[in-house]
Amino acid sequence: MTSLFFYGTLRDLELLDIVLGHNHGEVRAATLPGYAVYWAKDNAFPMAVAEHGAQAEGLLIEGVSQSDLDRLDFYEGGFAYATLEADVGGAKTARVFLPEPGMWQAGAPWSLSDWQAKWGAVVREGAREVMSYYGTLDPARVVGMYPAILSRAQAALNARSVAAPARGNTPSSTDVVVHTRDTAYAGFFNVVEATLQFPTFGGGLSAPVHRAIFQMADAVTVVPYDPVRDRVLLIEQFRAAPFMRGDADPWMMEPIAGRVDAAEGYETAVRREAEEEAGLTLRALHQVARQYPSPGAVTEFLVSYVGICDLPDDVVGVGGLSSEAEDIRSHIFDFEVALEMADAGAFRATPLLMTLYWLARHRDRLRGA
């Protein structure tokens, strides 16, 4: 049996139980002499740094089995952590997960309570997906998927945060019976296959049905609108899905859009995307709709906005993040011209059409304000 010392996120006992796959058992407070704990700069996790005279607070867990160690190595090892034996609290020798030298830079001093407040829920949810790959995927591949995993985790938290409305005799999601649920493909998106039965309107359960679901993060869209000049900004970019369908014109005119990252709200995400894709600073945001574009097979949930901003002639250009292979050209249209183009079928992205038609109904109010 082995003793382990945790100074970082695994001090969160709920997260530790998810990683171990069972209750953690007895733990006690301990310290690691000669180390201090800091945020890994520009990241959402901590790192221990050798520092003379410092003491890192943490938890000591004893009697750890080889199975537990294997699960912990899978969870931590892929994130460029190695283990060493250290004297903990002056009385015990324990294994400690420490970052590989030079992997990250130290930021501000780390706080467990601060991490739990912002990141705890989404990291716990993400850990459930991470550990579902234990024994099937290489840890390095899981690390490459980790930002997408956390975005999917944030989407699950968002979904659970909204209570179902009371609608008479409509069945509840808790009445759905799931027989099997398997991840057929895991990556930036997941494909999940499930066999389930759902309550029917006539009473009782349906026959078992097999469904394949395209699992995605939540996302936001925004059409920037200048009510003084009465014009909108739209973006144009290559889209792989229309191309793979065989579309002769896979360069799509769209609203600014992007996924909602972990621990990020919808409005924060939409302001960030406007800056990244078009260099725009949005003022007031007006929510257009909260919607599932294709609920038969896709989990993506969109929150769409109109964003008030200034749109002078020189605001157009080419933008996007090169790290995400974005090549985005922006265009300005007088609103009436954009609406005529929508009516003529020139635009094929549903969120854009929906937002333009919403703006047609609310434009006078926005211009008056």
Catalytic residues: 324
Q: How far apart are CA 160 and CA 132, in angstroms?
A: 20
- Alpha-carbon Rg for the chain, nearest whole angstrom, is 25
Closest Cα to residue 16, out of 72, 84, 79?
A: 72
Largest CA distance in the chain: 77
DSSP H or E stretch at residue 219: strand 219-226
Q: What is the CA 13 to chain-centroid distance, rounded?
A: 23
| Residue 106 CB neighbours (<10 A) | 18
Cα-Cα-Cα-Cα dihedral of 100, 123, 118, 53, to 10°?
-30
Look up tokens 């906005």; give the residue.
305
Q: Give, as one character, the DSSP assignment of residue 117.
A: I
Look up tokens 């996790």; give the residue.
45
Closest Cα to residue 101, out of 119, 123, 84, 87?
A: 84
Q: How far apart are CA 42 and CA 86, in angstroms?
A: 28
Amino acid at 284: A
| Helix, strand, coil percentages, rounded to 5, for the chain | 35, 35, 30
Q: Give, as one character, the DSSP assignment of residue 89.
A: T
SS3 at position 19: helix
Could you tell me which residues are beta bridge partners of residue 98? 82
Closest Cα to residue 17, out of 61, 58, 78?
A: 61
| Residue 33 CB neighbours (<10 A) | 14
**Long-range contact set of residues 265-268: C-beta below 8 Å, sequence gap at least 24:** 266/218, 266/220, 266/303, 267/305
